[in-house]
Amino acid sequence: MTGKVWLVGAGPGDAGLLTIRGKQVLEQAEVVVYDALVGTGVLQYIPKEARIIFAGKRSGNHYLKQSETNKVLLDEALKGHRVVRLKGGDPFLFGRGGEELELLVENGVPFEIVPGITSAFAVPAYQGIPVTHRDFCSSVHIITGHKRAGHEYDIDFDALVRSRGTLIFLMGIAAMPDIIKGLTDAGMDPGTPAAVLEKGTTAAQRRITAKLNTLEEECRRQNVQTPAIIVVGPVCALADTFSWYEKRPLAGVSVIVTRPKESVSGLSAMLREKGAEVLELPAIETVPIDKNERLIEALKGFSDHSWDWVVFTSPAGVRIFMEKLLEDQDVRVLAGTKIAVIGQGTQKALIPFGLKPDFIPSVYDGATLGKELAEVCGPGERILIPRASIGNKALTEALDCGKGLCVTDLPIYDTVYTSSGVIDEKALLESGQIDFAVFTSASTVKGFTAGIGDMDYSGVKAVCIGKQTEAAAKAFGMKTFTAEKATLESLTDCVEKTAAALKKKNQH
């Protein structure tokens, strides 16, 4: 059976600028062929089970020749696979998308195009440069700055200058001297505002502005790196007036979030709202224990009021417990049983099931939960704790308080360490591209380090949700910063305050 190919535009870099349709298609891919210009954050959406083929093209260095890439798409589709060709920006804007379709059309392979947000418009927008403005220009022109080795430019510079529009050169850093000469020779005012926008829409983005005739010298002085685009026109003068990206509290800050996949979105959203570039790289997975006879028996006990309390220590515990309960019963069977939770995150996990907790400790950790719950329990009360198989003993030890409480510590899921099969976390950390790693449990720290392996972790700045998590991070030599409260809001505030303090320190 013939498969299908999707040409997906990955956008300019920021994972938030990948289209909804692009994300949907990518998450269902069986084979992904991607380029070097695809943002690291976009790669996090590639399914773990998908086969990945790197076709990286950048600055004349090609991992696969174009003809080889075309054939890979054809061969994988003919094997019956769902193939995603993931391309930076938009696949039809200097992305050779048309060339890649030709072989598919010749062989009758079905395909779809998923347009992407082009860096030509998104990158200037992130730097406060409107590509059109009726007080300055009435057109915008996108030109490839790349030329084949040994060939002259096939660009009508005279026509571009006569247009009096905004000029955007993609892939043009190496050819900047030729571009500037072509424009000035065609009569453009050497004093025209211009800009080079480096690594746009990412935490590392940078803007170099100058007049056209001094742009090359300024870029050399500031050691401009690719990828970058060149913008020429009066609208570049508006950059300072319309700048917005750098005004957010976490602008320029890159963060790894290590929570399990099913729990990661809330924390990531809070960090992104403040301007951080977030990489969602779950360090652990929660896997329900298969054929859990003890859980089945425990659930039967609710119908005859065998439990006075059920205690949840994680959102995963709530989800897995309730899914199993609802297979044969409904929430009414919990009537008469009190519910305790370890903190606000676990409390929120109850909401979809129409439940509210009867007890939350003053401090969100196992020892406090056990100590304070024991104080409100009556002698001999029966307590069920459905949680991870590696649950912290501090909770059960605190409940052993001399009241004769009948505590059943019931493992319902295993915590499994995991890591990305696409993103090289170790390389990102060692190269200084990551500012903070955020940990919400000791197990996420252990999963994170297990996935990376041997490394000097002393350069890792770990933002931790509590003391136990902090201790786990310190055990690996990480520099730790701990939230005041064990909540996602406090964790986000900790990232913001720490980033601000470090920035201020570096400025001095």
Read off the pLDDT of residues 398-456 as tens digits, 9 standing for 90 and up.
Answer: 998 778 899 999 999 998 888 877 888 999 999 999 999 999 988 899 999 999 999 99
The range of the structural domain enclosing residue 471 comes to 254-283+418-507
Please indicate, yes or no, whether residues 291 and 413 belong to a single structural domain of this protein. Answer: yes
Please indicate, yes or no, whether residues 237 and 347 belong to a single structural domain of this protein. Answer: no
3-class secondary-structure state, position 399: helix
Residue 45: which region, alpha, beta or left (left: phi > 0; alpha: psi -120 to 50)?
Answer: alpha
Q: Give dist(CA 301, CA 66) in Å, integer.
A: 64
Please indicate, yes or no, whether residues 260 and 144 belong to a single structural domain of this protein. Answer: no
Q: Which residues pair with 9 in a beta bridge?
A: 87
pLDDT of residue 57: 59
Please indicate, yes or no, whether residues 104 and 179 belong to a single structural domain of this protein. Answer: no
Domain of 109, CATH number, reads 3.40.1010.10
The pLDDT profile of the chain, 508 residues, written as one tens digit per residue, is: 779 999 999 999 999 999 999 999 999 999 999 988 899 899 989 998 999 998 875 544 457 788 888 899 999 999 999 999 999 999 999 888 888 899 999 999 999 999 999 999 999 999 999 999 999 998 999 999 876 666 677 789 999 999 999 999 998 898 899 999 999 999 999 999 999 999 999 999 999 999 999 999 999 999 999 899 999 999 999 999 999 999 999 999 999 999 877 776 789 999 999 999 999 988 888 899 999 999 999 999 998 889 999 999 999 999 999 999 999 899 999 998 999 999 888 999 999 999 999 999 998 888 999 999 999 999 999 999 999 998 788 899 999 877 889 999 999 999 888 887 788 899 999 999 999 999 998 889 999 999 999 999 999 999 999 888 999 999 999 999 999 988 889 999 999 999 999 888 887 6
Active-site residue (options: 4, 14, 23, 35):
35
Please indicate, yes or no, whether residues 68 and 189 belong to a single structural domain of this protein. Answer: no
Residue type, 386: P
**Number of folded domains that form the chain:** 4
Please indicate, yes or no, whether residues 243 and 94 belong to a single structural domain of this protein. Answer: no
The verdict on whether 330 is a catalytic residue reads no
Q: Give dist(CA 391, CA 381) in Å, integer.
A: 21
Domain of 168, CATH number, reads 3.30.950.10
Please indicate, yes or no, whether residues 109 and 125 belong to a single structural domain of this protein. Answer: no
pLDDT of residue 95: 80
pLDDT of residue 507: 76
Please indicate, yes or no, whether residues 136 and 63 belong to a single structural domain of this protein. Answer: no
Omega within 30 of 0 (cis) for the link into 227: yes
pLDDT of residue 146: 73
R_g of the chain, CA atoms, integer Å? 28
3-class secondary-structure state, position 494: helix
pLDDT of residue 48: 87
- Residue ending a domain, choose from 85, 117, 149: 117
Please indicate, yes or no, whether residues 438 and 387 belong to a single structural domain of this protein. Answer: no
- Residue ending a domain, choose from 417, 443, 468: 417
Domain of 296, CATH number, reads 3.40.50.10090
Please indicate, yes or no, whether residues 30 and 148 belong to a single structural domain of this protein. Answer: no
- Residue ending a domain, choose from 117, 142, 173: 117
User: For residue 371, what are the contacts with CB-CB under 8 A and spacing of at least 6?
Assistant: 361, 398, 401
Please indicate, yes or no, whether residues 164 and 207 belong to a single structural domain of this protein. Answer: yes
pLDDT of residue 421: 77
The verdict on whether 393 is a catalytic residue reads no
Please indicate, yes or no, whether residues 458 and 377 belong to a single structural domain of this protein. Answer: no
Active-site residue (options: 57, 87, 199, 461):
57
**pTM of the full predicted structure?**
0.84
pLDDT of residue 96: 85
pLDDT of residue 60: 47
